[in-house]
Amino acid sequence: MLKANEIALGRLMAADPVLVDVKPAHEVLEGLTPTTFLHAGPPIAFQDMCPPMQGAVYCALLNEGIARDIDEARRMAADGTITYKPCHEFGAVGPMTGLTTWSMPLWVVEDRATGRRSYANISEGSGVGLRFGEYSQRTLDRLKWMREVAGPVFSQLLHEIGGMDLAPMMAQGLAMGDELHMRNHAGTALFVKNYAWLIARIAGPEAENVLKFIGVGNDQFFLNLAMAANKLAADLADGVPGSTLVTAIARNGVNFGIRISGLPGRWFTAPSPMVKGLYFPGFTEADANPDLGDSAIMEVGGFGGCSMITAPAIVKFLGAASVDVARETTEAMYSITLGEHPRYQIPALNFRGTPCGIDIMKVVETGVTPILNTAIASNRAGVGMVGAGMSTLPIDPFVEALKALAQELGI
């Protein structure tokens, strides 16, 4: 292994993520302004965004009180009022459209050793929501409730317990049948199991609503916490000169992009692939948006497709024919990763560590590319999730990243 990759992988694996707070985005994201809107994936202009992301921008304009109605939101979204930036460039990640703006409450995850922080928004729960580009009054009301009620409850909870260690919860989630990208039933259940008693006291008359918000129709509640934890690990591993370790995979619904440790801040992009999977009744591939969301940070950290064999229960949900697909997917990911995570283990593989640290050298050499477990979003704003499946990434950005690093190193 390259020395640079030993260093980068060591930092990735040494991350010790602790959930310490929930704060409004403007209090924690350096450089954020009221008119800076963050989105999933690599950089993109408003007019090039997919319909769900444009819908999410309208929703955010209304939610922040910048636009008074949808007509004004449509105009302001495109007239230069708003600056659009990737979440990743602010230390944050967001599932699906990933829209993150000034007042939104964010999970704050801190590395115990270095104090470095990362951020993710809070899963909105059942129904469609901002993340799928819905801008209904129901969505706006829920965002307000999350900002004014749920966020402060979670913040007080975290203060009272002195922070929540996420690594043991993620490890236990794997052991309980999550792969932590498309299956977070266990992680979410652990959150409720461990802290319902305290939420009941802190939230008072809102306790029923807060517990219902987490526990009913919000199976991916834990995903956002795990995403922030993996963003933290990836950012800790970023910026090692000469390293070929992948530190970001993200999709904006039009393009997907990767970043590598040895070339911090640079995106290498290609068109987002269509996701192969299973569609909900009434939907077909004609309804699907190309791959979308920052949640591929889970595969960067060795979860999701990398750890698919931990979650045989989701194989059919993702449209795969048999559990063999899960086993083969995890085995393929071992062929393009640098190590096996000592803290995150796969019981079905005799507690072998998860395949961790995607290496562009191995991807280019073998032709095997990362496989993401993912939701399939509708290609229309406000419709929501239309299916789930597996997304095999095209190789071109990995090749381009390798060539760029070679140029940087004078090879």
Please compute, for residue 69, the number of CA atoms within 13 A of its CA located in the half-sphere on the CB side: 1
CB of 269: closest distance to another protein in angstroms?
19
Q: Which is nearer to another protein, 216 or 409 (CB)?
A: 409
Query: Of 143-162, which residues contact another protein (CB under 8 A)?
Result: none
361 makes contact with another protein (CB under 8 A): yes
Among 367, 394, 396, 408, the residue binding another protein under the rule CB under 8 A is: 367
- The CA distance from 340 to 352, in Å, is 7
Q: Which is nearer to another protein, 375 or 405 (CB)?
A: 405
- The CA distance from 382 to 27, in Å, is 29
Q: Which stretch binds another protein (CB under 8 A): 35-43, 193-201, 313-321, 363-371?
A: 363-371
Q: How many CB atoms lie within 10 A of CB 322?
A: 11
Q: Which is nearer to another protein, 347 or 367 (CB)?
A: 367
Q: Which is nearer to another protein, 5 or 310 (CB)?
A: 5
> Please, what sign has the CA dihedral across residues 57, 62, 65, 67?
positive
Q: Which is nearer to another protein, 51 or 242 (CB)?
A: 242
CB of 338: closest distance to another protein in angstroms?
13
Q: Which is nearer to another protein, 78 or 409 (CB)?
A: 409
Nearest to 130 by CA among 120, 143, 119: 143
CA distances from 43 to 49, 66, 239, 310, 359 (A): 10, 22, 20, 33, 23
The 103-142 site mask, x for binding another protein (CB under 8 A), equals ----------------------------------------
- The CA distance from 353 to 239, in Å, is 25
274 makes contact with another protein (CB under 8 A): no
CB of 274: closest distance to another protein in angstroms?
23
Using the structure block, give the residue that is written with the tokens 């602790």. 18
Yes or no: say if 14 and 6 are a contact pair by the CB < 8 Å rule. no
CB of 266: closest distance to another protein in angstroms?
17
408 makes contact with another protein (CB under 8 A): no
Nearest to 236 by CA among 353, 341, 119, 118: 118
CB of 297: closest distance to another protein in angstroms?
25
Yes or no: say if 398 and 360 are a contact pair by the CB < 8 Å rule. yes
Q: Which is nearer to another protein, 214 or 364 (CB)?
A: 364
Among 2, 175, 196, 348, the residue binding another protein under the rule CB under 8 A is: 2
3 makes contact with another protein (CB under 8 A): yes
366 makes contact with another protein (CB under 8 A): yes
- The CA distance from 268 to 336, in Å, is 18
Residue type, 72: E
Among 70, 196, 368, 399, the residue binding another protein under the rule CB under 8 A is: 399
CA gyration radius, the chain: 20
403 makes contact with another protein (CB under 8 A): yes
Query: Of 218-247, which residues contact another protein (CB under 8 A)?
Result: 242, 244
CB of 242: closest distance to another protein in angstroms?
7
Report H helices in 238-352.
297-300, 323-334
Strands, DSSP E only, in 40-138?
Answer: 83-86, 92-93, 105-111, 117-121
Using the structure block, give the residue that is written with the tokens 């690594």. 167
364 makes contact with another protein (CB under 8 A): yes
Query: Of 281-320, which residues contact another protein (CB under 8 A)?
Result: none
402 makes contact with another protein (CB under 8 A): yes
Nearest to 55 by CA among 134, 137, 144, 140: 134
409 makes contact with another protein (CB under 8 A): yes
CA distances from 253 to 6, 53, 217, 391 (A): 33, 8, 24, 13
**Chain residues that interact with another protein, rule: CB under 8 A:** 2-3, 242, 244, 361, 364-367, 399, 402-403, 406, 409, 411
